[in-house]
Amino acid sequence: MIHRPTRRKFLQGATAASVGYWIGGRSTWADELALKSPNERINIASIGIGGKGDGDSDQAAKYGNLIAICDIDEHRLAQKGAKYPRAERYTDFRDMLDEMGPQIDAVTVSTPDHTHAVATMMAIRMGKHVYTQKPMTHDVWEARQLRLAAARHQVSTQMGNQGTSSDRFREGVEVIQAGLIGTVREFHVWTDRPTNWWPQSSEIKARPPEAPVPSYVQWDQWLGTAPNRPYGAKFYHPRNWRGWWDFGCGALGDMGCHTANLPFLALKLGYPTSVQAESEKLNPETYPAWARIVYEFPERTGLPAVKMYWYEGHQDGKVVQPPQELIDKVVTEYNKVLVSRGDKRVADGKKVGLAIGGSITVGDKGILYSPTDDGKEWELLPAEDYYIYKAPSQTLPRNPLGATSKTMDEAHKLEWLGALKGGPKPMSSFDYAGLLTETILLGNVAIRNGGKKLLWDGPGLKFSNAPEADQCLRRQYREPWSL
């Protein structure tokens, strides 16, 4: 049975469980989740069950009872419902939370970006523990509100940048914080997206022709907070929404919370002081084909000011990347490491070039290079440093499942739910992830403001030199939606 939209009332007064911290043995809390009888397990509801939401809901269901599922696509509901026949089905998450709130303990949110905030906020206010896909929100202002609300309601939260839960990622954070690459004053982050992932400028700059809404799609619910517009067959749902200003956050929103995560966490970054962007000429519908963004961060206790350089997309047929001199240095040393390791990719004199997405953290003694989008792999450069590398003292807890790239996504859910059973506080909980998301999304604000250097007043949630840019921090929701 599918529950169609009926009521819009928020439930009030739900009591949140306290957020757990690391106690006891390495796997005690994991066993607590997995071995409980159905009556003792956490009850989970999933909002958005297609695409990434398919895996998010399945992985969460390993450690709890999936008792409710919600999606605007009834075909998806039917497929997931066949797998979880006891889960109630809904096409409107407001009805699901309204009607089943007393039974639900935790919620996953895996919708398009423009509805992350409203779904997540409703769950938080009801005292539900929430796992929300990256980027945590569509707008800077929304990220701030969710961060504050999560702290106020004391719920366990986690953003879906799953690389955070891999052992290798956490060791990389420890390497930088232990000073193995020396003092860091800059890092570079890039992605080739959106190329070959979703259409946007310069391929698409205008809305598609109107098409009939499929009978199984609840189009008004999909639009959610966004301005009303006609359905466009395969241009928005199920997966091509990311390149549209109204729905997604472009390449920066898609990959920034992954790729910038390791250096951002390791360097203990907070609010930037400024952000400035250059990009392809903008159009009102889709994100640009390429962009370069510079963030400046102030000194922190015992740490110098830092610049973050972001590069995305293709310009004149080439991937927008860090300066060639830096690339040459990294590639040369990285290939020495691969040769010493006997990597088959460098057999017969072959050479591995710079990854199509990754990060380079530059210290005055060395470099930490991650040739992956999420920090789950990295190398210490120059090669001489790699040869003599000894892991620093462990300062961060390890996840029982987080040792490999194959398990880290499930490990991310396990850590979120494990916090309810005495596990560590989730490392990408909203107190951290909200600040990371705010920072990343400021880049899109800079893109929309034509190359001007914007001075950011983080505590005040405004620009000190460009009040006209403040309007890009927060969208006007379509009625009757509100946060």
| pLDDT one-digit tens code per residue, 294-342 | 999 999 999 999 999 999 999 999 999 999 999 999 999 999 999 999 9
Distant-in-sequence, close-in-space partners of 223: CB < 8 Å, separation ≥ 6: 229, 478
Which one-letter amino acid corresponds to residue 315? Answer: Q
Residue 254 in contact with residue 242, Cβ under 8 Å? yes
Which helix (H) or strand (E) segment is 452 a member of? none
Distant-in-sequence, close-in-space partners of 401: CB < 8 Å, separation ≥ 6: 30, 165, 407, 408, 410, 411, 414
Residue 140 in contact with residue 473, Cβ under 8 Å? yes
- Condensed to tens digits (0 to 9), the pLDDT of residues 439-477 reads 999 999 999 998 899 999 999 999 999 999 999 999 999
The C-alpha atoms of residue 101 and residue 117 are separated, in whole angstroms, by 18
Same fold, 2-163+407-424 and 167-400+436-473: no
Q: Where are the domains of the chain?
A: 2-163+407-424, 167-400+436-473
Which one-letter amino acid corresponds to residue 404? Answer: T
Residue 327 in contact with residue 321, Cβ under 8 Å? yes
Block residue for tokens 């008792």: 67
Strand, coil or helix: what is 339?
helix
CATH number of 2-163+407-424: 3.40.50.720
The C-alpha atoms of residue 167 and residue 377 are separated, in whole angstroms, by 10
Question: What pLDDT is recorded for position 33?
Answer: 72
Q: Does domain 167-400+436-473 match CATH 3.30.360.10? A: yes
The C-alpha atoms of residue 424 and residue 415 are separated, in whole angstroms, by 7
- How far is the CA of 251 from the CAs of 86, 112, 277, 481, in angstroms? 37, 14, 14, 26
Signed CA dihedral, 64, 11, 95, 245: sign only:
negative
Question: What pLDDT is recorded for position 403?
Answer: 83
The C-alpha atoms of residue 414 and residue 420 are separated, in whole angstroms, by 10
Question: What pLDDT is recorded for position 12?
Answer: 30
- Condensed to tens digits (0 to 9), the pLDDT of residues 196-247 reads 899 999 999 999 999 999 999 999 999 999 999 999 988 999 989 999 999 9
**Tally of residues, the chain:** 483
The C-alpha atoms of residue 157 and residue 149 are separated, in whole angstroms, by 11
The C-alpha atoms of residue 264 and residue 166 are separated, in whole angstroms, by 16
Signed CA dihedral, 414, 416, 418, 422: sign only:
positive
Hey, what are 439's tokens?
Answer: 């920072």
Q: Which parts of the chain sit beneath pLDDT 50?
A: 6-26
Which one-letter amino acid corresponds to residue 417? Answer: L
Residue 198 in contact with residue 239, Cβ under 8 Å? yes
Question: What pLDDT is recorded for position 28?
Answer: 64
Hey, what are 148's tokens?
Answer: 């504050």
Question: What pLDDT is recorded for position 11?
Answer: 26
- Beta strands (DSSP E) in 341-448 are 357-363, 367-370, 379-381
Which helix (H) or strand (E) segment is 384 a member of? helix 383-387
Q: What is the DSSP string of 204-273?
A: --SPPPP-PPPTTB-HHHHHTTSPP----TTTSTTTGGGGBTTT--HHHHHHHHHHTHHHHHHTT----S
Question: What pLDDT is recorded for position 421?
Answer: 83
Distant-in-sequence, close-in-space partners of 26: CB < 8 Å, separation ≥ 6: 398, 400
- Residues forming beta bridges with residue 66, ordered by sequence position: 44
- Cα–chain center distance at 161: 4
The number of beta carbons lying within 10 Å of the beta carbon of residue 47 is 30
Residue 174 in contact with residue 267, Cβ under 8 Å? no
Residue 96 in contact with residue 45, Cβ under 8 Å? yes
Question: What pLDDT is recorded for position 15?
Answer: 29
Signed CA dihedral, 331, 443, 159, 100: sign only:
negative
Distant-in-sequence, close-in-space partners of 78: CB < 8 Å, separation ≥ 6: none
The number of beta carbons lying within 10 Å of the beta carbon of residue 209 is 8
Signed CA dihedral, 104, 51, 483, 19: sign only:
positive
The C-alpha atoms of residue 387 and residue 381 are separated, in whole angstroms, by 9
Q: What are phi and psi of 454, to 5 degrees?
A: -100, 125
Hey, what are 79's tokens?
Answer: 């497929």
The number of beta carbons lying within 10 Å of the beta carbon of residue 159 is 33
Strand, coil or helix: what is 180?
coil
